[in-house]
A and B are shown apart, each in its own frame.
Chain A
Amino acid sequence: MLKVEDLWVSVGDRKVLKGVSFSMNYGEINMLFGPNGAGKTTFMMTLMGFPRYKIEQGRIYFKGEDVTSKDLYERARLGLGVSFQRPPTVRGVTLKKIVDIISGRSGRENIDADIDRLNLSGHLERGLNDGFSGGEMKRSELLQLMVQRPDLVLIDEPESGVDIENIALVGEAINSLLGKDKVKDPKRSAIIITHTGYILDFVNADKGYIIYDGNMLCRGNPRDILSEIKKYGYRRCAECR
């Protein structure tokens, strides 16, 4: 589904990704670990196509197509979707408005049950992320993705800023988004950035990866990787390089 070859990315003057290669199959859920500033979000945003993340070298193939020079919205239309860690506020544009626009494109209708499940019915007429709490932002992101129905979902720190009670709600929503609460949907895939690993209590992840200093280092069982990180931090990553 996704193949990344020798990806070098800079943000402003700073070289962030330094030759990342990565691939994943349809239906996989992969967790991405790494210390702050290692390049996790840069990796995700580069996959999505945000222009601030400049590809210096390397190629990205999505569903067999070279998307390296494709525009952000073209990649979204091909089936990539992102849930932001901290989405921007768009005053005046209501959540309902944006959900309607996405729904018009994806053909996904009858989303009332999703709205109720995410406890967002009272937020539909509010400006996008305008005064939303951390949990409300995550739920709003997931609602938009449920309507968009991307094949590969990129989720940046679903737990950050979310209280314990809402983490369960967010975790269940991610499962639903990936079709894991029903018969397994072999096509829906995800890359999820996590610091705390709380989300692993809700999402059955296939693999875990560590990004460290702009390189993709470990690959393995996500729970094992998390356990190592909790025990030793990331200092052993430097030895692995």
Chain B
Amino acid sequence: MPISKTYLSEIMARAEKAKDKKAAMGPDIDLERYTKHIERGKIESLESLSHQAKEAAILTGISLEEENRAGSYMQVDQSVVYESLNKAYEGQLEIMNITSALEKYDWMEDYFWKSVPADQDKYTAQAALHMTHGYFIRIFPHQKPQYPVQSCLLVAENNVSQNVHNIIIVEEGAELQVITGCTLSNTDAEGIHLGISEFYVKKGGKLFFTMIHNWADNFHVRPRTRVVVEEDGSFVSNYVLLKPVKSIQSFPVAHLKGDRASAKFNTVVYGLKDSYIDLGSRIILEGKDTRGESVARTIAADESTIYSRGDLVAKTKDYCLAHLDCRGILFSSRAKIYAIPQLVSEGSVKAELSHEASIGPIAEEQVEYLMSRGISRDDAVSVITSGFLNLDIPYIPEFLDQSIKDVIKATAEDAL
């Protein structure tokens, strides 16, 4: 049974009121510039994508052969072109586009626009009023598939506003890994990607979520993410951005509602060209004995500007523990990094919140130390930079490791 029309009308009404509401952070984007709408047909397999689309998808961690994947979801511009579930995992999880999920399940009312407010700003409003699908992934109670689900949200056309709404539900005691690649197949494209993500991790569930963003010079991105974690649940987010972007602003929130819930955000950002990057995370510790950790490694090269934010907010009267580790390296005298850690304790007398934040160059002492072992200056810078960005992120494919090295090599000459 579909979601109730009354509920949908309420959402629309709220969104309608917010459609001109500027966001609290990031440059304001004129959404009317991006009005092109393209309908595309389904494809038989990911191998049937265009050459450019395949290349772009691979670079965000997508396996075209779907090897070692529990399932796949692919969207090009506004159309869902591919959805599949590996037969071995039937009965363990379901994957479909969100439009179908809203048609199928009336209980979606408990999740759809329940954690992210539709009237947060003009971008959430646009995504509510003009939703162009998005994925729905639900893993059934106590299921733990060996391999991740992959999703790719690709923009191929110029002047498109891709307004996706994604929902992941990890039912009680289940564990799920998701790899999401968001990218462009035409690197000259102008446009915007609005991604609403609402993730729900139920009691004792675990969600490992890896997102790789590969955008380009003329593209804006405004994700809005909120994760609700129940007792004994755990959420791990790995986010990687190594390509230029016109502007991106995102501040995902993990709400640790249940006792002993935990969240960890790992963020790796390499700012190139004149990219405007405003990223961060907020962890709200509401349950007792909740744990949070937010680790960010940022490098700003060229004329890029990076805001690296992190908020830890303690609300429980009981013990909770959270740490913020935010470090940046400036590779260029024209680049900027703003590291903004914030610790908030709202009457949480037992909360232990801490942070360390630093911005600095690559230490010459470290470079010379490696050179004294016979390593050239460029190679020493490359090794140190790779090490700086290496957060031992689980489930990151080998190609990404190589991609990090390639980007670093290209910019190493300007490093010192």
Question: A residues near B, CB below 8 A?
Answer: 48, 50-51, 71-73, 76-77, 81-82, 84, 87-88, 90-94, 97-98, 101-102, 105-106, 127, 144, 148
Contacts and interface: CB of A to CB of B under 8 A. Distances in A.
B366 A102 contact: no
Contact of B368 (A51, A93, A98, A148): A51
B383 A93 contact: yes
Contacts of B383: 93, 97-98, 101
A14 B376 CA distance: 29
Given A88-B365, A88-B366, A90-B366, A76 B387 contact: no
Contacts of B363: 88
Contacts of B386: 92-93
B371 A97 contact: no
B342 interface: no
Contacts of B373: 73, 76, 81, 98, 101-102, 144, 148
B384 A90 contact: yes
B374 A84 contact: no
B402 to A, nearest CB: 15
Contacts of B384: 90, 92-93
Contacts of B372: 48, 50, 72-73, 76, 81-82
A195 B173 CA distance: 61
Nearest to B385: A92
Interface of B: 363, 365-366, 368-377, 379-380, 383-384, 386-390
B296 to A, nearest CB: 14
Given A88-B365, A90-B369, A101 B375 contact: yes
A111 to B, nearest CB: 14
15 contacts: A71-B377, A72-B372, A73-B375, A76-B371, A76-B373, A81-B372, A84-B369, A88-B363, A91-B388, A93-B383, A98-B373, A101-B373, A101-B379, A101-B383, A102-B374
Nearest to B297: A92
Contacts of A92: 384, 386-390
Residue among B371, B372, B376, B387 with most chain A CB within 10 A: B372
